Amino acid sequence: MGTATHCPYCALQCAMTVTAIADGVPEIAGRGFPTNRGGLCRKGWTSAALLGHPERLTTPLLRADDGVLRPASWDVALGRVAAQLLATRGTHGADAVGVFGGGGLTNEKAYLLGKFARLALGTSRIDYNGRFCMASAAAAGNRAFGLDRGLPFPVADLDAAHTILLLGSNVAETMPPFVQHLQGARTAGGLIVVDPRRTATADFTADGAGLHLQPVPATDLALLLGLCHIVIHDGLADKAYIADRTTGYAALARSVAPWWPERTSRVTGVPVELLRETTRLLAAGARNGGGYILTGRGVEQHVDGTDTATAAINLALLLGLPGSAHSGFGTLTGQGNGQGGREHGQKADQLPGYRKITDPVARAHVARVWGVGEASIPGPGLPAVELLASLGKPGGVRTFLVHGANPAVSAPDSTEVLAGLASLDCLVVCDFFLSETAALAHVVLPVLQWAEEDGTITNLEGRVLRRRAAVPPPPGARSELWIMAELARRLGAPSTFSDDPETVFTELRAASAGGLADYSGIDYPLLDTGAAAYWPYPTGGTGTPRLFLNRFAHDDGRARLVPVSAAAGSGSAGSVGAGTSGPGGVGRNGAGNRDTLFGGSTLALATGRLLEHYQSGAQTRRVPALAAARPDARLLIHPAAAAARGISDGGPVTLANARGAVWCTAEFSTAMRLDTVFLPFHYPGRQSANLLTSSATDPVSGMPEFKTSSVTVAPGWLPGQPVHAGGGDALAGSGSFSTSITGTGTP
């Protein structure tokens, strides 16, 4: 009999059944569930290939004096880590120890990691890779609604939509089972996709099913301001809703007044007719049975990502969508537990329950649950990009612990990140494969995979789900809960640290009680019944599948219309991202650091995902079927842009800018704009897209500028900037994994 659990990949968290096979790869079957209705994508169908994989880590590894990673016992490995932590704190202070978490960790591990960092290590220096994913959308949601939950309604609500505006998300490749929820809007001719390239998702708008808007890269904010202008000046705004449920309309109307349709079209490249048709369809959807606006990373991973997400919320509020029974606004969470992972304490500025770490009441509550004095909880730390920039620097982090992340590939401006990792006194990585980050570590600790452990995750709807152990772990691998509990004991940490997931979840419930993300009414027995448990779910109450039906989370119950501004020359040569906020608006100090686009012969580089791969590819590039389908990075480039540069289809090509150079293969695509190229970010070494991306960040959210970089593109593989990687060249090879590991060890 199989075990009911959920997919290890994206936040759709498709339901599946895992059946163990004696001496064989477990069988995977899709299971009926509202998000996937039995369907799975290629990644989900092949996820069991990672269980029992020959490259699986099953014993701790320590780097010897000769630079070679060698197996060691758990006692020796944890002893070395504990000694190093004590030495670093004693010499440099607690904040010289840093912790980097992940949006794929279970709620229990994310919660305990935050507690471990603050109590066992005493450091404020903790953040996680969700900063690269949801930070801008979360910041925008918090300031507009007073609460951030990716989708404040069940995914299935989209089925009956008349109109869906999808901004910067290629769901057909990133979460394929999701596309079934777009069918109602397609049938009504109301699916609108905004993306500079014609993606598989944009193809769903063909044959009268909707519209595809292809703005100039980095002009999403200007586009949304222009749509807001049209809604107001064409009389499409829901005036009764605005009066009853929002504040700030007058200032917002003034702020979008300069973005008349012709100007918006000139800046974005989107024809006026398409701008007007978009607003007409959205207004019709709001009136005739359902309109939704959904954002994704394509419009959020920018230095003005928070303002862009805010502008999308403003558009939704003008139309009366959020908090309606049949309409809404949401953002599509990316990582498997990207929602729960940012709610319970591994984020630099938060405590469990989505509490602010600077709030004295929140600190006092969590301190009581932990049984410590409030003063023992450090204050806010550094967001991910700043945390990574501090590695090995004077006054920065000297010992670094990484859980569930691969920043050597996934972080922006990875040349500098690799140098920082190499300069540490000690790098400790918990992983089940020797990822590119683990290959640089001084200590590697082998941990459990998704089908080998119990716990909970929270999907993109805010629904808490049970993850169940379906197969036994390999001898030698350990739960991260156990690792943290053992290290806490060796460090003499205050409070308690359990290695039992249900015990940890019970404490999480208490710590979250009364917070925005209140899980106190949820327990394992409830989840084991299959009940739909959407947070907030207070003790003695019920879940909340649909937020904001009666009021928003601000004290007055109203949503905030927040004026934001785009640069006067946004999208034009030499001025993308420059400029400041207008009266009453929110400034974007980070925008001035954005690359200058379209200067000389440069092209705009967009990065993103492929159907077959996930995140840094450390898992999916090890699945034979997925690796064979997409073995290496290919640069999508328009044939005309390629011809102008002497680039041949299938030929070698070099992308370069001041931060580095990437070698890959060209692939012609008429789906691309002439001024834009696309490179997936799943590959390491010389094919790593993040050698080119900028570490400039959004001043509100700390989100890096992933989506738009300026690059030169030339035929052939030309020399680029060297990347410092410690004991070797981190850029050697492309999709292969190797390191020096010798000897045997005893768990």
CATH architecture of 61-131+348-510: 3-Layer(aba) Sandwich (3.40)
Cβ-proximal residues to 252 (8 Å cutoff; 6+ apart), any chain: 228, 314, 318, 561, 562, 563
What's the sign of the alpha-carbon dihedral 680, 686, 688, 690? negative
Is the distance from CB of 428 to CB of 441 less than 8 angstroms?
yes
**Cα 651–652–653 angle (5° rounding)?**
115
Q: What is the pLDDT of residues 56-102, one digit of tens each?
A: 999 999 999 999 999 999 999 999 999 999 999 999 999 999 999 99
Tokens of 382: 């550094």
Per-residue pLDDT at 185 exceeds 80: yes
At the topology level, CATH places domain 135-336 in Dimethylsulfoxide Reductase; domain 2 (3.40.228)
Position 570 pLDDT exceeds 60: no
Residues 13, 15, 20, 23, CA torsion sign: negative
Q: 733 pLDDT exceeds 50?
A: no
**Residue holding tokens 């009940």?**
531
Contact between 612 and 254 (Cβ < 8 Å): no
E strand map for 449-489: 455-458, 463-467
**Structure confidence at residue 555 (pLDDT):** 97
Give percent above pLDDT 70 in the chain: 93
Q: How far is CA 506 from CA 231, 512, 568, in A?
A: 47, 10, 52
User: Which of 193-197, 384-388, 527-531, 597-601 is predicted with the least confidence, judged by mean pLDDT?
Assistant: 597-601
Stretch (H or E) spanning 212: strand 210-213
pTM of the model: 0.93
Q: What per-residue confidence (pLDDT) applies to 568? A: 52
**pLDDT beyond 60 at 591:** no
Rounded-to-10 torsion of CA 313, 690, 641, 193: -20
Q: Average pLDDT in the 720-728 region?
A: 42
What CA–CA distance (Å, rounded) separates 603 from 597? 7
Sheet order of strands, 27-30 included: 3-6, 15-19, 27-30
Name every residue whose Cβ is closer than 8 Å to that of residue 367 and which is 6 or more positions away in sequence. Answer: 373, 374, 376, 377
pLDDT of residue 687: 96
Is residue 194 pLDDT above 90, yes or no? Answer: yes
Does the structural domain 592-715 have CATH classification 2.40.40.20?
A: yes
Whether the ω angle into residue 536 lies within 30 degrees of 0, i.e. cis, is yes
Asked if domains 135-336 and 592-715 share a fold, the reply is no
Q: Are the C-beta atoms of 38 and 54 separated by less than 8 Å?
A: no
* Interatomic CA distance for residues 391 and 440, integer angstroms: 14
Q: Please check the confidence at residue 645 and state whether its pLDDT lies above 70.
A: yes
pLDDT in tens, 285-297: 999 879 999 999 9
Sole residue written with tokens 């400041």: 580
Is residue 404 a contact partner of residue 101, using CB atoms and an 8 Å limit?
Answer: yes
pLDDT in tens, 211-256: 999 999 999 999 999 999 999 999 999 999 999 999 999 999 999 9
Q: Is the per-residue pLDDT at 325 higher than 70?
A: yes
Q: Is the pLDDT of residue 730 over 60?
A: no
**pLDDT, tens digit, for every residue of 252-285?**
999 999 999 999 999 999 999 999 999 999 999 9
122: helix, coil or strand?
A: coil
pLDDT in tens, 311-324: 999 999 999 999 99
* 3-state secondary structure string across 689-725: HHHCCEEEECCCCCCEECCCEEEEEEECCCCCCCCCC
The pLDDT-based confidence of 132 (bands split at 50, 70, 90) is: very high
Domain boundaries, the chain: 3-50, 61-131+348-510, 135-336, 592-715
DSSP state of 155: G
The residue ranking higher by pLDDT, 733 or 190, is 190
Chain segment 484-532, per-residue pLDDT in tens: 999 999 999 999 999 999 999 999 999 999 999 999 999 999 999 999 9
φ, ψ of residue 44 in degrees (nearest 5): -65, -45
CATH homologous superfamily of 3-50: ADC-like domains (2.20.25.90)
Residue-level length of the chain: 747
How does residue 579 score in pLDDT terms, banded at 50, 70 and 90? very low
